[in-house]
């Protein structure tokens, strides 16, 4: 069944049609949420909340953009709310606290895997330290692979703003990674 038909039937209250839409988008939504939480259980909860908001908002969906873009907009807003609450509570997820221990747990003879894991952890840590608007745009474009047009619609930004913000976000991330690497090299 085509997506437009699934949307129409979902708007009429057909839960099975909506379940088909959820199946189509659940991996992308979960992946986006996981990119911000680094916690599978939290990502599951957030994805479920995002789909609930989509179900409740379906009567207002007017197809001015694609369903995927509309769903991403809901996801972005929900993730922003989550990040604000998380920042105000100052909690540190166990995954972040355990990154160093996980890197040490790699086999000693697998130096390449250990180095790759350390680089990944460093980039993830530097990314999480970026301001929300830059972290969001980098995650959606460079990690989730959202096309520029869809990114513009999902974030409610002009194409020029998307370009400039993405440029600044990449530069900020690159500068933070370089700074951290330079600092690590100086430390004996």
Give the burial class of 65: count Cβ atoms within 10 A of its Cβ; 0-12 exposed, 13-18 middle, 19 or more buried: middle
Least Cα distance to 50 among 176, 36, 134, 121 occurs for: 36
Mean of all residue pLDDT scores within the chain: 81
Sequence ranges of the domains in the chain: 1-95, 98-188
Ranked by mean pLDDT, which of 4-8, 37-41, 113-117, 120-124 comes out on top? 4-8
CATH 1.10.1740.10 for domain 1-95, yes or no, is yes
pLDDT tens by residue, 101-141? 444 444 545 667 777 778 878 888 888 888 888 988 888 88
Backbone angles phi, psi at 137, to 5 degrees: -70, -35
pLDDT band at 19 (very low <50, low <70, confident <90, very high): very high
Q: Is the pLDDT of residue 54 over 90?
A: yes
Maximum average pLDDT range among 9-18, 99-108, 126-135, 140-149: 9-18
Are residues 83 and 37 in contact, defined by beta-carbon separation less than 8 angstroms? Answer: no
pLDDT (average), residues 38-49: 89
Domains 1-95 and 98-188 share a fold: no
CATH class for the region spanning 98-188:
mainly alpha
- Do 97 and 155 contact (CB within 8 A), yes or no? no
What is the model's pLDDT at position 186?
59
């Amino acid at each position: 069944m085509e997506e437009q038909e699934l949307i129409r039937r979902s708007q009429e209250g057909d839960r099975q049609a909506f379940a088909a839409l959820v199946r189509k988008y659940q991996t992308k939504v979960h992946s986006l949420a996981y990119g911000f939480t680094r916690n599978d259980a939290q990502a599951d909860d957030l994805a479920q909340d995002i789909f609930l908001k989509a179900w409740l908002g379906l009567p207002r969906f007017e197809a001015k953009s694609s369903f995927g873009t509309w769903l991403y907009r809901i996801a972005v807003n929900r993730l922003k709310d989550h990040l604000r609450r998380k920042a105000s509570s100052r909690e540190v997820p166990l995954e972040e606290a355990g990154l160093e221990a996980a890197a040490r747990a790699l086999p000693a003879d697998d130096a390449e895997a250990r180095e790759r894991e350390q680089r990944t952890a460093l980039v993830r840590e530097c990314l999480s330290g970026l301001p929300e608007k830059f972290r969001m745009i980098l995650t959606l474009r460079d990690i989730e692979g959202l096309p520029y047009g869809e990114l513009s619609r999902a974030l409610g930004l002009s194409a020029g703003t998307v370009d400039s913000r993405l440029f600044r976000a990449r530069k900020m991330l690159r500068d933070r990674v370089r700074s951290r690497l330079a600092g690590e090299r100086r430390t004996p």
